[in-house]
Copies of this chain bind each other. A is one copy, B any other.
């Protein structure tokens, strides 16, 4: 669990006061994917950025999508990369 596993990066706009949102997202991912995530990086940024990357692969960009992710769809995207066979339970239902 310590040095294996995936690296999640949450790059958020601190000027927009999205730190708590980013931190909450980190908590949710660390809870759901306990044992599969090596680390979650909280990275302050500017200019309205809210991006989530897994192993440097972009899985969410607020600029591209025009909105924040639902946590369930973020978890689905993460799951599809790190453990495609996993059933996420209620997070796999349509939002």
Contacts and interface: CB of A to CB of B under 8 A. Distances in A.
Interface of A: 1-2, 14, 19-20, 23, 26-27, 30-31, 34-35, 37-46
Contact of A23 (B23, B38, B44, B45): B23
Instruction: Please give the count of copies of this chain that the complex contains.
Output: 2
A35 B45 CA distance: 9
Contacts of A42: 26, 30, 39-42
Interface of A is mostly: mixed
A39 B43 contact: yes
19 contacts: A1-B45, A1-B46, A2-B43, A2-B44, A2-B46, A14-B34, A14-B35, A19-B27, A23-B23, A23-B26, A23-B27, A26-B26, A30-B42, A30-B44, A35-B44, A38-B43, A38-B44, A39-B41, A39-B42
Contacts of A23: 23, 26-27, 30
Contacts of A34: 14, 44
